Chains A and B, each alone.
Chain A
Amino acid sequence: MATYALKTHLPPYLRDEQRRIEAFAREMGLDFFPTVFEMLTYDQMNEVASYGGFPTRYPHWRFGMEYERMSKSAEYGLHRIYEMVINNNPSIAYLLEGNSLVDQKLVMAHVFAHVDFFKNNYTFATTNQGVDSRTGEPIRKWIDTMANHGAIVRRWANRIGIDKIESFIDHCLSLENLIDPNKPYQPTRKKKTRGEEEDERAKEKPEEPQLLRVDRDYMESFINPEEFVEKQRRRIEKEKEKEKRFPERPDRDVLGFLIDHAPLERWERDVLTIVRREAYYFYPQMQTKVMNEGWASYWHSRIMTTRVCDASEIIEYADRNAGVMSTASGQLNPYKLGVELYRHIEERWNRGQFGKEWEECDDLEARRHWDRRTGLGREKIFQVRKLYNDVMFIDEYLTPEFVADQKLYAFGYNNRNDRWEIETRKFEAVKSRLLFQLTNAGQPFVCVEDANYGNRGELLLRHDHQGIDLRLDWAREVLCSLERVWKRPAEIHTILDGKPTLLRFDGNEHVQRPMK
């Protein structure tokens, strides 16, 4: 192993445990990157946690705020960080000094499952930085990348001052969630030069309507009737119209668009690029929160209860595990939901509760005692952890039985009673609410509509309204940030209280008015 700046090696007795648990995990079929555990004191832990798990990030006050909050609540005994693991190859995980041995073992078992998930789940493939030609393993050196980002920003800060940089980072972070989750799956288009572009246009898009070939003159009006010619002409015109638009198609990768097209200074472009790249790095973790935590919890409980714990440890383990799985009202515990859903799937596939026959069976009694002894459960959950994200996971495997068993409910704010209330326990409602929360990681859909709005070089965004309004005061702040980056007025079209509304900031004042 490389030498690290911190002296954080595990003590020998924990190294032995690590070896033991690692062997169990492999035996059970988990397939993970090499994993390095480091032991941290609690203020080191708070520091690393504030940096989102990384030892070094770019300088920004919000990390300091996180640190303040974490060390406060650690001091007051409100929460303790047990486990933290970075999606990196080799993976780095941290243990908190002073935790009991059972805790440490629990964390290790949990971590190996996380790393298995990082390595195998398809969403995390977007965080690959290439493939090691010798081993064929993916390269993920994000610790280095983050440290490099830090170095770049620090270098600019030395040159032009930390205050300027930091306030620009504030603006960039306001736009951080405006990325396109599908972007990493699209082939990167090569940038064309202007000449090439024009050649192509000339080749592809004729100015004149293309008529069908007519061998005899008198057939002309039959083969190419007036309406047909007119239609062709209109289509070409329309296409030309579209071409004038910029971007041609609405672009959800607002950050990427700004990097490519906003009039930025070099340092501004560097900062924005860094913020964007990190946003894409963290996105898979938001996309798979339930699955990832559920998977880790599934395996830590399996490894701990069947292999690791002896009789003297099992009570402490159970107590700790119960703490992790506890649910508070009004909050959904992704650990609990995830692990239960995996177990539900495993059970169903073990008993053969799937396929046409199962779907079509409406005899409740038969369904309850349905057992085909297929024993496919383990295989199935491994498949699920590879090929699904949270949205697909819930959409496909949440069943009415599960919702009833787990006592899930949908809640909302009752304006009349001025309080949060349970709304319903109906399967469809719970499922759709859950899916809504998980779709696009719970963020509104926003895209760049027009970068030359009103032919004045203004930036127009569109919020694809899906039933829930934007938070207004924050939306205004974000428009300020957009204006700062684009350096021209920024506007967003959305819906407020059922009416199409535009919000606009031109550098001096905010405008909000309904649209026709």
Chain B
Amino acid sequence: MSLKIDQDHSRFRKIVRGKIRQNLRKYISQGELIGKQGKDVVSIPIPQIDIPRFRFADRQQGGVGQGDGEPGDPLSGSDQQGDGTGQAGSDPGEHLLEVDVTLDELAEILGEELELPNIEDRGKSSIVDRKDRYVGIRTVGPASLRHWKRTFRNTIKRQIAMGTYDQKRPVIIPTREDMRYRSWKTEEEPVANAVIVYMMDVSGSMGDEQKEIVRIESFWIDAWLQKQYKGLDTRFVIHDAVAREVDRDTFFRTRESGGTMISSAYKLCSQIIEADYPASEWNIYPFHFSDGDNWSVDDTLLCVDILRNKLLPVSNVFCYGQVESPYGSGQFIKDLKEHLKEDDRLITSEIRDRDAIVGSIRDFLGKGR
């Protein structure tokens, strides 16, 4: 049902959007939104928006209360602000306001704030989706689809033509022939699907903080690509010296202590793509996060080889994010840049700390591919 307040409400939502945008960098680097994610909305705490007035400073004012306790006892629930005006509960003080924002909207805000370009269609649209749209009118159909206005109009037309319409007593009686019903047409529309393959180094040198950074970053990458593509698949690969595919939870929780062979992950990734995601139909986004340590120069060369011959040709972009850790040498990113600098499908980004997440998201998604 539409209410009068809807207009005021939507203008308020606009203000909220502005606030979220203002604070987006903070939300991103603190990662507080991830825990608040519902099915397809995120509830975001924003500082209460209020109209400033000449008012007394809260803490000086104090107030009067009612109940047990000796002088000097703390009020229970001390974070409650002493609401001075004696209006119990009518003045909510300075609490945070929680607003629900859909993931889609959030992605849009992210896009606006980071000035991310929309992803260009690569023309991979062999998958077709069928969609019913109510566009036409028929003379038969179920009562639930009756088009009231058209039916009424037909009836009146007929009655006037037949001369049975009396202006003084405008009774309209539809017959079966007057009835009109909405009808639908099935339209076929091409859809673009995408898959993200997240790969992460879980060897001993990747600490909790590094993983948290990856988690935050992947949340926003998900949100953005979700908005860009109708169907989005995500796959997760962890590796130390060997790689294996895991689910999302395990991906962020696992910690191994072995060495690091990045090539193992790239191999697995390429297998996954070959098996499930033909490049002609899918937009493919492999993301790899590590601290930049690799076992040997030989393995690095193997990685470069896999990238050049297998992964890069099928991917929209291949993103490598290097999270700085106290143990990692950080060599891998330099090697990649050296060997593959001519290929613009490879995007690398160094993530020093949480504040660098925003910049890195922009690195990855800023090309619009």
User: Interface on A for B, CB 8 Å cutoff?
Assistant: 43-44, 47, 50-51, 55-56, 59-65, 67-69, 72, 79, 162, 166, 170, 173-178, 286, 289-290, 327-337, 406-413, 415, 417, 419-425, 430, 433-434, 437-438, 441-444, 446, 463, 468-475, 477-478, 481
Selected contact of A329 from candidates B11, B49, B75, B97, CB within 8 Å: B75
**Contact across chains for A411 and B66 when beta carbons are under 8 A apart:** no
Q: Complex: how many Å from CA A79 to CA B51? A: 23
Chain A residues near B8 (CB-CB < 8 A): 50, 59-64, 67
Q: Complex: how many Å from CA A413 to CA B1? A: 46
Q: Complex: how many Å from CA A311 to CA B162? A: 67
Selected contact of A331 from candidates B10, B53, B89, CB within 8 Å: B89
* Interface flag for B99 (CB, 8 Å): yes
**Contact across chains for A327 and B84 when beta carbons are under 8 A apart:** no
Contact A444/B13 with A334-B87, A337-B66, A408-B65 known, Cβ cut-off 8 Å: no
Sampled A-B contacts (29; CB under 8 Å): A59-B7, A59-B11, A60-B8, A67-B5, A67-B12, A69-B92, A79-B89, A173-B53, A178-B54, A289-B85, A327-B67, A329-B77, A330-B76, A330-B78, A332-B63, A333-B88, A409-B65, A409-B66, A411-B65, A411-B75, A419-B74, A420-B78, A437-B61, A441-B85, A442-B84, A442-B86, A443-B53, A444-B54, A468-B57
Q: Complex: how many Å from CA A166 to CA B80? A: 32
The B interface, classified by DSSP as helix, strand, loop or mixed, is loop
The interface on chain B, measured as residues whose beta carbon lies within 8 A of the other chain's beta carbons, has a size of 55
**Contact across chains for A478 and B5 when beta carbons are under 8 A apart:** no
**Contact across chains for B64 and A411 when beta carbons are under 8 A apart:** yes
* Given A174-B52, A419-B78, 6 new contacts (CB under 8 A): A43-B1, A420-B80, A422-B74, A433-B64, A443-B55, A478-B52
Selected contact of A177 from candidates B11, B54, B76, CB within 8 Å: B54
* Interface flag for B4 (CB, 8 Å): yes
Q: Complex: how many Å from CA A409 to CA B71? A: 8
Chain B residues near A332 (CB-CB < 8 A): 63-66, 86, 88
Q: What total count of A-B pairs have CB within 8 Å? A: 227
Chain B residues near A51 (CB-CB < 8 A): 5
**Contact across chains for A44 and B3 when beta carbons are under 8 A apart:** yes
Q: Complex: how many Å from CA A76 to CA B27? A: 24
Selected contact of A67 from candidates B9, B62, B77, B97, CB within 8 Å: B9
* Interface flag for B70 (CB, 8 Å): yes
* Interface flag for B15 (CB, 8 Å): yes
Q: Complex: how many Å from CA A105 to CA B69? A: 36
Chain A residues near B73 (CB-CB < 8 A): 421-422
* Interface flag for B58 (CB, 8 Å): yes
Selected contact of A407 from candidates B51, B56, B68, B85, CB within 8 Å: B68
Nearest B residue to A470 by beta-carbon distance?
B54
Contact A421/B85 with A170-B51, A433-B62 known, Cβ cut-off 8 Å: no
* Interface flag for B240 (CB, 8 Å): no
**Contact across chains for A420 and B87 when beta carbons are under 8 A apart:** no
**Contact across chains for B57 and A422 when beta carbons are under 8 A apart:** no
Say how far B235's CB is from chain A's closest CB, in angstroms: 36
**Contact across chains for A333 and B55 when beta carbons are under 8 A apart:** no
**Contact across chains for B3 and A407 when beta carbons are under 8 A apart:** no
Contact A468/B60 with A63-B5, A407-B66, A420-B80 known, Cβ cut-off 8 Å: yes
**Contact across chains for B7 and A412 when beta carbons are under 8 A apart:** no
Say how far A316's CB is from chain B's closest CB, in angstroms: 22
**Contact across chains for B54 and A463 when beta carbons are under 8 A apart:** yes
Chain B residues near A443 (CB-CB < 8 A): 53-55
Chain B residues near A412 (CB-CB < 8 A): 61-63, 82
Contact A422/B54 with A65-B49, A79-B89, A442-B86 known, Cβ cut-off 8 Å: no
Say how far B80's CB is from chain A's closest CB, in angstroms: 5
Chain B residues near A328 (CB-CB < 8 A): 77, 80, 88
Selected contact of A68 from candidates B60, B88, B99, CB within 8 Å: B99
**Contact across chains for A468 and B56 when beta carbons are under 8 A apart:** yes
Say how far A464's CB is from chain B's closest CB, in angstroms: 11
* Interface flag for B83 (CB, 8 Å): yes
**Contact across chains for B86 and A334 when beta carbons are under 8 A apart:** yes
**Contact across chains for A50 and B5 when beta carbons are under 8 A apart:** yes
**Contact across chains for A408 and B66 when beta carbons are under 8 A apart:** yes
Nearest A residue to B6 by beta-carbon distance?
A64
**Contact across chains for A62 and B83 when beta carbons are under 8 A apart:** no
Selected contact of A61 from candidates B15, B55, B60, CB within 8 Å: B15
* Interface flag for B98 (CB, 8 Å): yes
Say how far A403's CB is from chain B's closest CB, in angstroms: 10
* Interface flag for B72 (CB, 8 Å): yes
Chain B residues near A417 (CB-CB < 8 A): 74
Say how far B36's CB is from chain A's closest CB, in angstroms: 14
* Interface flag for B149 (CB, 8 Å): no
Chain B residues near A68 (CB-CB < 8 A): 9, 12-13, 97, 99
Selected contact of B82 from candidates A60, A176, A330, CB within 8 Å: A330
* Interface flag for B59 (CB, 8 Å): yes
Q: Complex: how many Å from CA A434 to CA B64? A: 6
Contact A289/B74 with A59-B8, A64-B9, A333-B66 known, Cβ cut-off 8 Å: no
Selected contact of A72 from candidates B49, B57, B98, CB within 8 Å: B98
Contact A289/B12 with A176-B53, A421-B73, A474-B53 known, Cβ cut-off 8 Å: no
